[in-house]
Amino acid sequence: MLVPRVPSVGGLEFPATIYPLENRVSSDSAAPTPFIFQTIDSIGKKELDSLPYGVIQLDAQGTVLRYNSYEEGLSGLTRQKVVGKNFFKQIAPCTDMQEFYGRFREGVAAGELHCTFRYHFAFKRNPRDVTITLLYNAREKLTWVLVQPIDSQT
């Protein structure tokens, strides 16, 4: 079953997109849209912070370059503690496994990565199940990690 969505981010209306049933979201949250995948590299801090899901930008080694406020709330970690550190080794070592870090490494090596999968963050204070989207920008050699809590999906 497919469900249409017309997300609004920062006052901008995005084209309607069809999402599979397992990616449906409640009215207070929105799944990443294909439009976001095309424009995310050019949005500023304010727009990044207005997105209704976590966003992390990584360089080819996994160092965090950008980190939005929604992700701060999900993880309980501030930008100041995260930016400049390796996501897989220092920030979320639970992701240092084939399912997550392996996909990242393979995608960076291939120069092509766009996948979505479910993942469990085993944070001590706030463990949660999420949907992860990894998106590689070959021109800039950067990867975007989009994090949407599954409990916000219906």
Domains, the chain: 2-152 (3.30.450.20)
Provide the pLDDT for residue 32.
Answer: 54
Residue 9 has pLDDT above 60, yes or no: no
Mean pLDDT, the chain, whole residue set = 78
Provide the pLDDT for residue 87.
Answer: 97
Residue 15 has pLDDT above 50, yes or no: no
CA 113 to chain centre: 13
Mention every residue, 6+ apart, whose C-beta is less than 8 A from residue 129.
118, 119, 120, 121, 149, 150, 151
What share of the chain in percent tops pLDDT 90? 56
Provide the pLDDT for residue 131.
Answer: 95
Provide the pLDDT for residue 127.
Answer: 80
Tell me what the mean pLDDT of segment 100-115 comes to: 95
Helix, strand, or coil here: 81? Answer: helix
Look at residues 60, 78, 79, 39 and name the one whose alpha carbon lies nearest to residue 138.
60
Here the tokens at position 29 are: 């949250």
Residue 75 pLDDT level (bands cut at 50, 70, 90): confident
* Torsion from C-alpha of 137, 50, 11, 23, nearest 10 degrees: 70
Residue 97 has pLDDT above 90, yes or no: yes
Mention every residue, 6+ apart, whose C-beta is less than 8 A from residue 120.
127, 128, 129, 130
Tell me the torsion sign for CA atoms 149, 89, 134, 80: positive
Residue 12 pLDDT level (bands cut at 50, 70, 90): very low
Provide the pLDDT for residue 69.
Answer: 96
